[in-house]
Amino acid sequence: MASRPPDKTTAARPTARLYLVTPPLADVAATTALLAPALAAADIAAVLLRLPAADERTLINRIREIAPLVQERGAALLVEGRPDLVARAGADGAHLAGIAAMQEAIAALKPDRIVGAGGLESRHDAMIAAESGADYVMFGEPDSAGKRPSFPAIRERVEWWTEVFEIPCVAHAASLAEVGELAAAEFVALDPAILSDPRGPAQAVAEASRRLATESPA
């Protein structure tokens, strides 16, 4: 998950890449059934595994089962909220909610693994995350209660960040309708609900990819 070139005034912006977010990984077979066709349908930069409550050994085993599917497609496998499991489970990094959790994980994961920062309540939080060593910041993901900022606020935050900062941002899309409007970001995260599209995950991801290709800035 690399950032854009520093000179944004002369370099063309690349098309945003997709970042998949899974439902809680309670059943490996069900998660595989979602991910396999989605990964085959488009260029996927990363997959974020959301984890249910379970004992450590169970979670490690589940992550290990999913890892080859994701990594063999060239995508990074990230674990939500459990940096302690990353190395033992063969994942590529972790996504942490909040500045404190991210800063606590940095020493254990860097420089070999990815550290992503979410749960950022303000511009200041995002800047602190970047200064602390986050590999990316995420805007627009729901909180633990399922709430998130208004969509205009998310879009504004993404556009501000990509114009000013080199560290990439991930914009969280709650629906396919939001994907194109977030194409200024380096990465667009697809909410798990998108993978549950009645047409199937492959068609949903392929549509998201088309929307990015159409709307990404030149």
DSSP strand pairing (169-173 vs 136-139) = parallel
- pLDDT-based confidence at residue 11 (cuts at 50, 70, 90): low
**41-90 pLDDT, tens digit each:** 999 999 999 999 899 999 999 999 999 999 999 999 999 999 999 999 99
Contacts (Cβ under 8 Å, ≥6 apart) of 8? 163
Provide the pLDDT for residue 145. Answer: 85
Query: Domain coordinates of the chain in residue numbers?
Result: 17-198
Spatial separation of the C-alpha atoms in residues 80 and 127, rounded to whole Å? 21
Provide the pLDDT for residue 1. Answer: 56
Spatial separation of the C-alpha atoms in residues 88 and 98, rounded to whole Å? 23
Which CATH code, of 3.40.50.970, 3.20.20.70, 3.10.105.10, 3.40.50.720, is assigned to 17-198?
3.20.20.70
Question: Across all residues in the chain, what is the average pLDDT?
Answer: 91
For the question of whether the overall pTM of this predicted structure is more than 0.75, the answer is yes
Tell which phi-psi region holds residue 146, choosing left (phi > 0), alpha (psi between -120 and 50) or beta.
left
User: Residues 189-216: what's their mean pLDDT?
Assistant: 93
End-to-end CA distance of the chain: 20
Q: Which residues pair with 94 in a beta bridge?
A: 79, 115
Residue (of 144, 140, 143) closest to 185 by Cα position: 140
**97-140 pLDDT, tens digit each:** 999 999 999 999 999 999 999 999 999 999 999 999 999 999 99
DSSP strand pairing (76-80 vs 44-50) = parallel
